[in-house]
Amino acid sequence: MSDPVNSVTNTAVPVDNVTNTAVTADTRSIAAQAEMVTVRTGLPWWQLLARDRLALCSAAWLVFLLVCMAFGPEFLGKAATDINLRARNTPPGSTEQGWLMILGSDALGRSMLARLVVASRNTLTVAFTSVVLALIVGGVLGLIAGYVGRGVGNLIMRLSDVIQSFPSLLLAVVVLYMLEPRVANLIIVLAVTRIPSYLRVARAEVLEVRERGFVDAARAMGASRTHILWRHVLPIVAPTLLTIMTVDFAVVMLSESGLSFLGIGIQPPEITWGLMVAQGHNHLTQAWWLAFLPGLAIMSATLSANLLSNWLRLITDPVQRWRLEAPKADS
Amino acid sequence: MIPYLTRRAMHSAFALLGLIIAVFFLARLTGDPTDLFLPVDASREDRIEFARKHGYDRPATEQFVHFVGDVMEGNLGFSLRKQRPAVEVVLEAYPTTLKLAGVTLLIGISLAIVVGALAAYRTGGWFDRMGSTLALVGASAPDFWVAITAILFFSVSLHWLPTSGTGGILFWIMPVTVLALRPFGLLVQVVRGAMLDALASAYVKTARAKGVSESAVIFVHALRNACLAVVTVAGNLAVGLINGAVIVETVFGWPGVGKLMIDAVIQRDFAVVQASIMVTAIAIFLMNVLIDLLYAALDPRIRHQ
């Protein structure tokens, strides 16, 4: 996932990874400095990330969640289903019942921490898969709509209008009513509702890029349509699509959680964070943490994704990028 | 202007038609429609009788013509649970949702314009940072969780506000706030961006060079143009608001169309689900046409096209 971003953000920069602060630059010869000034067009993306504390924290948190998703259920799967009636409704913040109860326990004495970790797999997998599916389908359709032009393009756009002009949650509710609320169906429905945003952006960018000189040059040299789209147009469109992907990750996670909360998404005994909020809703007055903590988990993930997408938008925008590249004035 | 409006209306109408077709085929092709319409425990004889009465044993094309005719006449099926035409049930629930959405939009939009404009005016200042953070949190927060947390805090602990139901102004505070959160978060970002563009534009420089007062520059020249951006996203906003209304109405027990639909799904009353979809689609179609009219009225470039 990070590869296309990387390749674009470093436009022409395999120069050096030495920091560009004034201090190190001063110790070099004037010629070297002059060379640095002319050659340096940007920092590698990890240095840019390190400069933005909020984005760095968000990225770290998302990586942590991914680790939970990948390995958590194997380690804590048993703890999440173990019933311990002696530890029923333990409030969070005490380790008297063991460290697994640090975030409290539910009415059956199951560890909240373990349940949150196990639920992260369903929640994040559904969101991530839907977004990737929407990205691929929407991106390809957008490239076609933009490059092939009128007839097919218009048809694709009208289809996206149909999807976009209707509330995504209602669409998902109806489809999941008609089909079974299985994970695969849920992913497809969520992906379909997100396709238009990729489609539109991809098409708009292609319409602009196809008029540029290098596309004309490639065409004049006899490159095929697929080659031009794949090698010349896609690399320019990709960073924008990836930025939308991070925002969409948050949007889809909220939709999935909402559906689970309404009881139309993933069904018990599987758990997701949204479903945990719904289950905790019934015990609100006795054990507030049952509904509060899973919601906090959702919020932490969506907020991180949104912060990260803001940062991505900043570094992929040549007009805004200097804000991160310029040496900090106060340090 | 007329060709523009006709083209836009055609696009919206196409979307409406597409949705009708989609609902029909999803309901027919994914299985026996009697399974959708009748309760799970209906007897075999009931199913056969129901299928014959509503023509589900005929070819799909014939059924489709019949279906489109019914939709045109406003006949969207009969609610099995309520024993009334489904359209009546849905239209009864609509005013509640429209009132909730209207109040929310009014408050959300005006607040977002003020916050977005002030944030753009002093970019990077404390207000900008606070407003942008608030907008980001608003756009990231799961609405159902905010609703539950608000109930926990303001109703269960403090006893200030009622937990659910409808009534006086106190019943409105939490639902409207929760529902406004996401549109507000989105709009602040839109207004801020549009305002930044407007403030950097040539016409604002001209106005300043002419010696127009600063307040007139902001409110007459910049903000009015930035508000156009709000109209552009108004359609998406209203569509998103219905998503929120489904959740908010369910949590706060408002008898609107969102709660009606979720209840119908849980009780497996397909006619009501189908009717809610159709009525919502038509409402969105009308709204899109209205937004296009408004846009043409506000932007002279479109009016004189």
Tens-digit pLDDT profile for residues A283-303 = 877 777 888 888 888 999 999
Assess: ipTM above 0.90: no
Put simply, whether B239 touches A (Cβ < 8 Å) is yes
Put simply, whether A159 touches B (Cβ < 8 Å) is yes
Q: Which of A123-137, A146-160, B18-32, B277-291 has the least mean pLDDT? A: B18-32
In a domain, A137, yes or no: yes
Instruction: Answer yes or no: is pLDDT of A321 > 80.
Output: no
Of residues B27, B140, B242, nearest to A167 (C-beta): B242
Q: How far is A58 from chain B (nearest CA, A)?
A: 13
CATH number of the domain residue A220 falls in: 1.10.3720.10
Return the pLDDT at A136.
92
The answer to whether the CB atoms of B265 and A274 lie below 8 A apart is no
In a domain, A313, yes or no: yes
Contacts of B243 in chain A (CB under 8 A): 167-170, 255, 258
The contacts of residue B180 (CB under 8 Å, 6+ apart) are B104, B107, B108, B111
In a domain, A285, yes or no: yes
Cα nearest neighbour of A257 on chain B:
B142
Return the pLDDT at A11.
38
Interface of A with B in 163-192 (CB under 8 A): 164-170, 173-175, 177-179
Put simply, whether B34 touches A (Cβ < 8 Å) is no
Spatial separation of the C-alpha atoms in residues B131 and B81, rounded to whole Å: 47
Render pLDDT for B188-219 as a digit per residue (tens, 0 to 9).
888 888 888 888 888 888 888 888 888 888 88
The answer to whether the CB atoms of A158 and B18 lie below 8 A apart is yes
Render pLDDT for B167-188 as a digit per residue (tens, 0 to 9).
777 778 888 888 888 888 888 8
In this structure, the number of other CB atoms found within 10 A of the CB of residue A44 comes to: 16
Instruction: Answer yes or no: is pLDDT of B166 > 80.
Output: no
Q: How many domains does chain A have?
A: 1
Put simply, whether B140 touches A (Cβ < 8 Å) is yes
Amino acid at A249: F
Task: Specify the higher pLDDT residue, A15 or B8.
Answer: B8
Q: Which residues pair with B84 in a beta bridge?
A: B79
In a domain, A266, yes or no: yes
Return the pLDDT at B127.
84
- Considering chain A, what is the average pLDDT of its residues? 76
In a domain, A17, yes or no: no
Interface of A with B in 279-308 (CB under 8 A): 280-281, 284-285, 288, 291-292, 294-296, 298-299, 302-303, 305-307
Q: Which of B83, B90, B51, B55 is nearest to B70 (CA)?
A: B55
Put simply, whether B78 touches A (Cβ < 8 Å) is no
Spatial separation of the C-alpha atoms in residues A165 and A160, rounded to whole Å: 8
Range of the domain at A133: 57-319
Over range A51-68, report the average pLDDT: 85
Spatial separation of the C-alpha atoms in residues A164 and A192, rounded to whole Å: 10
Instruction: Answer yes or no: is pLDDT of B14 > 90.
Output: no
**Mutate which of B34, B132, B145, B159 to test chain A, going by most A C-beta atoms within 10 A?**
B145
Spatial separation of the C-alpha atoms in residues A124 and A119, rounded to whole Å: 9
Put simply, whether B189 touches A (Cβ < 8 Å) is no
**Omega into A4 within 30° of 0, i.e. cis?**
no
Q: How far is B1 from chain A (nearest CA, A)?
A: 21
- Exposure of A12 by Cβ count < 10 A (0-12 exposed, 13-18 middle, 19+ buried)? exposed
Put simply, whether B261 touches A (Cβ < 8 Å) is yes
The answer to whether the CB atoms of A258 and B143 lie below 8 A apart is yes
Return the pLDDT at A328.
47
The answer to whether the CB atoms of A302 and B140 lie below 8 A apart is yes
Spatial separation of the C-alpha atoms in residues A315 and A45, rounded to whole Å: 8
Spatial separation of the C-alpha atoms in residues A39 and A31, rounded to whole Å: 12
Of residues A261, A296, A307, nearest to B144 (C-beta): A261
Render pLDDT for A222-271 as a digit per residue (tens, 0 to 9).
888 888 888 888 888 888 888 888 888 888 888 888 888 888 878 878 88
State what percent of residues in chain B have pLDDT above 70: 92
In a domain, A69, yes or no: yes
The answer to whether the CB atoms of A166 and B239 lie below 8 A apart is yes
In a domain, A71, yes or no: yes
Spatial separation of the C-alpha atoms in residues A178 and A253, rounded to whole Å: 22
pTM, two decimals, is: 0.79
Packed helices B223-252 and A168-178: angle between N→C axes, nearest 10 degrees? 40
In a domain, A159, yes or no: yes
